[in-house]
């Protein structure tokens, strides 16, 4: 059986090391996973208490329109409910956009390195990939504009960017949107939006109302701590949203995930606590990096990309033996560094000691 030719040069997504696998491999009893940017503080206790009550009628299909979550989110964001598309994580929305707008003979523009699923899904649709290198961790927006041609259909902006954590400044974002042709879809991926320092947050929702070609992506997987339940969403014009919902599968989010996301959305205290503790622990880790002479990118997310005098794989392997899983830069398209999720205060303090041990032997 012959699949698309492009699959001959592609491979499946390779996830980070799993906790149980590392325990067995290194004979460890405890593992701290700081590789996937999950919320180390868990998720809303209100969701935890309510989940047992959500287990009735699993034989019935979920609401394909996600009416309750749709109404709650539309009210909170002050938008029309017809501007929302829900997905099995924002990853699925990326796939839906690619399937809706990209095909052979078109191209799509993105930064490099950035979230790899933009490229992965675009390649499957037969589109040409145009990658524009980051500058000091930031999107080179002028170069991205210069790369546009008649075949360009979608441009991806990841802000804060994964894996660098860098935020596109508000004025640069608006200038980009002003100068991008209105017939090109611009996707602003804000998976880490809730972690952004308040004074720096762009008013992305108002930008959607102003720029009809803008699609904003967000998720319940990161700050809300519902990564396992897989709920992401997009906010766009009703015209774009209609197209995305035609492409979307009819039952792509479950009843449990929809109701959990709604309850998490309403628990503002948990979100605020996550925001504050992430900043405190991230600042402390940045101060540690300064002390030991390690450079890093400015990050408005719940992770820090730390540059190293060695390969990222070396620190990655060393930390594995000490019970810490981080993400090597080599696996992310950025050699000589590691992306480290900001964990609890206690775990970050132990991690710092382990990094000191590593540096002492470099």
**Could you report the per-residue pLDDT of 162-174, keeping only the tens digit for each?**
999 999 999 999 9
Residue 26: band (very low, low, confident or very high) from pLDDT cuts 50, 70, 90: confident
Q: Is 274 exposed, middle or buried (0-12, 13-18, 19+ CB in 10 A)?
A: buried
The pLDDT of residue 124 is 96
Question: Which comes out higher in pLDDT, residue 2 or 261?
Answer: 261
Question: Which comes out higher in pLDDT, residue 158 or 11?
Answer: 158
The pLDDT of residue 15 is 66
The most distant pair of C-alpha atoms in the chain lies apart, rounded to whole Å, by 58
For every residue of 103-154, DSSP letters joined together read -TT-EEEEEESS-THHHHHHHHTTPEEEEEE-BTTB--HHHHHHT--TTEEE
Q: Which two tokens stand for residue 267?
A: 């628990």
Q: What is the pTM of this model?
A: 0.94
Per the CB < 8 A criterion, the answer to whether 72 and 262 are in contact is yes
pLDDT at residue 17 greater than cutoff 70 = no
The mean pLDDT value for 274-291 works out to 98
The pLDDT of residue 115 is 97
For every residue of 34-99, DSSP letters joined together read -SS---TT---HHHHHHGGGG-TTTTSPP-TT-HHHHHHHHHHHTS-GGGEEEESHHHHHHHHHHH
The pair phi, psi for residue 141, each rounded to 5°, is -65, -40
Structural domains in the chain, CATH included, are 14-43+269-360 (3.90.1150.10), 49-266 (3.40.640.10)
Residue 350: band (very low, low, confident or very high) from pLDDT cuts 50, 70, 90: very high
The mean pLDDT value for 49-73 works out to 93
pLDDT at residue 37 greater than cutoff 90 = yes
The pLDDT of residue 10 is 66
The mean pLDDT value for 120-138 works out to 97
Q: Which two tokens stand for residue 66?
A: 């996600």
**Could you report the per-residue pLDDT of 212-224, keeping only the tens digit for each?**
999 999 999 999 9
Residue 16: band (very low, low, confident or very high) from pLDDT cuts 50, 70, 90: low
3-state secondary structure 268-310: HHHHHHHHHHHHHHHHHHHHHHHHHCCCECCCCCCEEEEECCC
From CA 247, how far away is CA 99, in angstroms rounded? Answer: 7
Residue percentage of the chain with pLDDT more than 90:
89
Q: Which two tokens stand for residue 1?
A: 């059986």
The mean pLDDT value for 259-265 works out to 97
The pLDDT of residue 163 is 97
Per the CB < 8 A criterion, the answer to whether 167 and 297 are in contact is no
The pairing of beta strand 232-235 with beta strand 84-87: antiparallel
The pLDDT of residue 212 is 97
The pLDDT of residue 243 is 97
Question: Which comes out higher in pLDDT, residue 20 or 350?
Answer: 350
Q: Which of these ranges, 23-27, 68-72, 207-211, 306-310, has the smallest mean pLDDT?
A: 23-27
Quick one: DSSP state of residue 214? E
The pLDDT of residue 239 is 97
Averaged confidence pLDDT in the chain: 95
From CA 186, how far away is CA 168, in angstroms rounded? Answer: 14
Three-state secondary structure call for residue 254:
coil
The mean pLDDT value for 31-55 works out to 94
């Amino acid at each position: 059986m012959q699949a698309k030719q492009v699959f001959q040069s592609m491979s499946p997504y390779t996830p980070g090391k799993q906790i149980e696998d590392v325990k067995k491999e290194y004979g460890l009893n405890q593992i701290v996973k700081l590789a996937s940017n999950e919320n180390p503080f868990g998720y809303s206790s209100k969701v935890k208490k309510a989940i047992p009550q959500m287990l009735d009628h699993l034989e019935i299909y979920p609401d394909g329109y996600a009416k309750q979550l749709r109404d709650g989110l539309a009210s909170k964001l002050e938008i029309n409910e017809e501007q929302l598309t829900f997905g099995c994580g924002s990853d699925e929305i990326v796939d839906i956009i690619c399937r809706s707008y990209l095909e052979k003979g078109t191209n799509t523009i993105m930064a490099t390195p950035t979230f790899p699923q933009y490229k992965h899904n675009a390649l499957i649709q037969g589109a040409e990939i145009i990658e524009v290198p980051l500058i000091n961790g930031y999107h080179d927006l002028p170069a991205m504009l210069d790369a546009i041609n008649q075949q360009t259909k979608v441009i991806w902006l990841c802000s804060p960017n994964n894996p660098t954590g860098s935020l596109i400044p508000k004025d640069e974002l608006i200038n980009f949107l002003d100068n991008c042709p209105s017939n090109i879809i611009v996707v602003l991926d804000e998976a880490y939006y809730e972690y952004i320092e308040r004074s720096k947050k762009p008013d992305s929702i108002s930008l959607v109302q102003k720029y009809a070609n803008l699609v904003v992506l967000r998720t319940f997987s990161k700050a809300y701590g519902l990564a396992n339940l897989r709920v992401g969403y997009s906010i766009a014009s009703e015209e774009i949203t209609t197209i995305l919902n035609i492409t979307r599968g009819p039952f792509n989010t479950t009843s449990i995930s929809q109701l959990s996301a709604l309850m998490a959305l309403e628990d503002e205290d948990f979100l605020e606590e996550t925001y504050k503790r992430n900043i405190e622990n991230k600042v402390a880790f940045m101060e540690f990096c300064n002390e030991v002479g390690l450079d890093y990118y400015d990050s408005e997310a719940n992770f820090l990309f730390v540059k190293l005098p060695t390969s990222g794989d070396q620190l990655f392997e060393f930390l594995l033996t000490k019970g810490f899983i981080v993400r090597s830069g080599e696996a992310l398209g950025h050699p000589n560094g590691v992306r480290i999720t900001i964990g609890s205060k206690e775990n970050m303090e132990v991690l710092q000691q382990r990094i000191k041990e590593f540096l002492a032997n470099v």
